[in-house]
Structure 1
Amino acid sequence: MSAALLSTHGLVAHYGDFQALYGIDFEIAAGEVVALIGANGAGKSTLLKSIMGLLSVAPGMVQLDGRPVGGAKPHRMVANGVAIVPEGRRLFVGMSVIDNLRVAIDHAGKSAAVGWTLERLFALFPLLKEKQAVPVESLSGGQQQMVAIGRALLSQPRVLLCDEISLGLAPKVVKEIYQALPSICETGTAIVLVEQDVGLARSSSNRLYCMLEGHVSLTGRSADVSREAIGEAYFGGAHAVA
């Protein structure tokens, strides 16, 4: 693998007195897609929050280009070239599609010349151009997800953190969204993909990490890791993954 663009080192994270992550070592290179899989409560979203600065961690536990950035505020992480598509999308209700997107343009990271523009985004998701004057709350779930991804891309990320972007969407919409990922990676943007659908995670990623109770239980190249190995890592025993 190429040199890590983003990495974590012995990362631990807490919610008050509750420890959610235990010594996570993770890395991703430019242009790579890495999937995070595991059952609910395994720590996948917590890992993304820790990277993004939504949870307090020690500086050296998260590194970008080898520089410690752990514990930096989310707006500083955006400026450093890290963006998140949060679970549940969290769009600005009462605002149009275009106004939701312009928020990202106004606060775009300055350190990464990834080159996302509205025109390029509309080429990736033509529906957003058609719906740009529409209030986001009137869109379908899949359309809202495209707005959330577009908002993140317009902040010019070198690393895009995607938390359950397929959750609750129709298979046709999921396919359309996932077909956009290679175009995003062409710029060198790395994508960390939290995904419950193991088959989709494997087919859409270069490598994967399976998490179990706040630990990494398995890691490897997505094409090389067997379903049996994933089943054991996913559940902590010899179970098959459907």
Structure 2
Amino acid sequence: MASFTKASDKSKVLKTEPLDYQDARWATLVKITYTDPEGVERTWESAERLTRPAGSDIDGVGIAAILQDPAKPNEEPRIILQKQWRPPVNATVIEIPAGLIDPNESPETCALRELKEETGYIGEVVKDRSFDVSPVMFNDPGFCNTNLRMIHVTVDLSRPENQNPKPELEDNEFIETFSVPLKDLWAECIKFEEQGYAIDARVGTLAEGIEFAKRWKLG
């Protein structure tokens, strides 16, 4: 499939320095005082997002989007991935489409909006209430309170608007969109790491789950 990119491999970190909490726009550090199971008072350092809308139980969504063509039922399903350079790890990361939720926006609406903006594809949330939206997932609960829901989406490649998708990237977004066969995701992650890419945990966990299912003959 076509990719949409302003090559990000040339990006690099110039310097890293402390950030005054008054200047923080996206996240901040807090000290939590708590009691352990034995009643001992302890403290914990934690990061918190500053962007979660009031009344929302999540910061954003991850989008597991599967490309399918009804006219080609025997073709292997492919998952949409992205390459995006990330300053915190100073590397280009293999990711799924994702984004922050807007005020009063449902996770499903957020997912379809972000998918279109980042990839150009028009998707459809899986029509199965037992699998359309995941439980709330915490990215790294020992470090921060950031969380999301995974939204499971299909993209019908036979639709005219998905023939030549055009992303709507912001001027600070440099994203390359591509796809790989879903069944090969684990092997592809290994190849990407060998090529010097970092693997987003959502991609790696999904790949590992697929590999578990194959090796232990689940389903």
Instruction: Output the TM-score relative to the length of structure 1.
Output: 0.26
Where is the strand percentage greater, Structure 1 or Structure 2?
Answer: 2
Instruction: Output the TM-score relative to the length of structure 2.
Output: 0.28
